[in-house]
Amino acid sequence: MSTDSTPRVLSIQSHVVHGYVGNKSAVFPLQVLGFEVDAINTVQFSTHTGYKHIKGTILKNEEMAELIEGLALNEVDYYTHFLTGYSRSPDSLKQIASIITKLKQKNPNLIYVCDPVMGDNGKMYVPDEVLPVYRDILVPLADILTPNQFEAEQITGLTMNDLDGALKIIDALHNKGVKTVVLSSTDLGDEQNMIGIASNKDSCYKIVIPKFGATFTGTGDLFAALFMAWSHKTNKNLKLTLEKTIATLQYIVKDTFDKARGLLFVWLLR
């Protein structure tokens, strides 16, 4: 068992060769913020699934079991945090539930951060069969849940047309047993802004996020990782955690946006 105070996370998410989603989005920022990160890749794809050609491999349940067994046999499976994201298979999500049980035996105070990665803007980008596994098995185990609007609506079966609707969805997720619910982005703002909301049993905060005129992939994965890290670093101060998470994200998103604009400008000059 570890005795130092370094936060240690097991992160089970996707890996892509090109670009930044899943573990490629989460691991480095977590390391910069002081976490020791162990990563298991649910898939290894060339690119994220928004590309025309999806090539690569999906981790099989036996392979995941073997990796977990190796960690246990070598007694390096003490974690303060457990973070899960993109996974395509309902079976592997069920397996994640049993991994939580094992990790909690090693550390009963383990914090489980569940990013129920399923889709965005009205569309699923994983098979529909993962929804009931999140809804009925993983969500009730989550200490922190970080859905976007679409995912929160799918899990609860409710629609979010206004702030009141968002609060009803948040309550429904708390009623499933989730301690902290964070809506990473909602359409409740206007043309210029999106709205994020974080809630625990004591308080609920809303944050206005200025929108850049582009679509980003991997920001949801980054959001979940940053929220977990800032929650730890601020001693679970919900307001500060939300502010710090968005400030860090805005810095990265703005930089990416400016670079893309810069590239377009250079291209136009040629």
Ligand X SMILES: Nc1ncnc2c1ncn2[C@@H]1O[C@H](COP(=O)(O)OP(=O)(O)O)[C@@H](O)[C@H]1O
Positions that interact with ligand PMP (CB under 6 A): 14, 16, 21-22, 43, 45, 48-50, 86, 117, 125, 217-221
State yes or no: is 221 an active-site residue: yes
Q: Pick from 196, 197, 227, 228 the residue near ligand X by CB under 6 A.
A: 196
Rule CB under 6 A: is residue 184 a binding residue for ligand X?
yes
7 makes contact, choosing from ligand X, ligand PMP, none, with CB < 5 to 8 Å by partner type, with: none
212, interface contact from ligand X, ligand PMP, none, CB < 5-8 Å by kind: ligand X
Beta strands 123-124; 56-58: pairing state = unpaired
Which tokens sit at 17?
Answer: 């060769």
- Residue 2 or 44: the one with the smaller Cβ distance to ligand PMP is 44
Nearer Cβ to ligand X (29/220): 220
What DSSP character marks residue 139?
G
SS3 8: strand
CB within 8 Å of 45: residues ≥ 6 apart: 14, 15, 16, 17, 54, 55, 56
CB closer to ligand X out of 110 and 142: 142
Catalytic residue among 190, 202, 221, 258: 221
Residue 130 near residue 88 (C-beta atoms within 8 A) = yes
Residue 25 to residue 170: CA distance in whole angstroms: 26
What residues contact residue 86 under an 8 Å CB cut-off, 6+ apart? 13, 14, 21, 22, 42, 43, 117, 126, 221
Helix (H) or strand (E) holding 267: helix 238-269
How far apart CA 257 and CA 251 sit, in angstroms, is: 10
Q: Which of 23, 84, 219, 248 binds ligand X (CB under 6 A)?
A: 219
Q: How far is the CB of 220 from ligand X (least distance, A)?
A: 2
- Contacting residue, 20, 86, 223, 230, with ligand X by CB under 6 A: 223
- Contact partner, 83, from ligand PMP, ligand X, none, Cβ < 5-8 Å per class: none
Interface with ligand X (CB under 6 A): 120, 148, 184-185, 196, 209, 211-212, 214, 216, 219-220, 223, 246, 249, 253
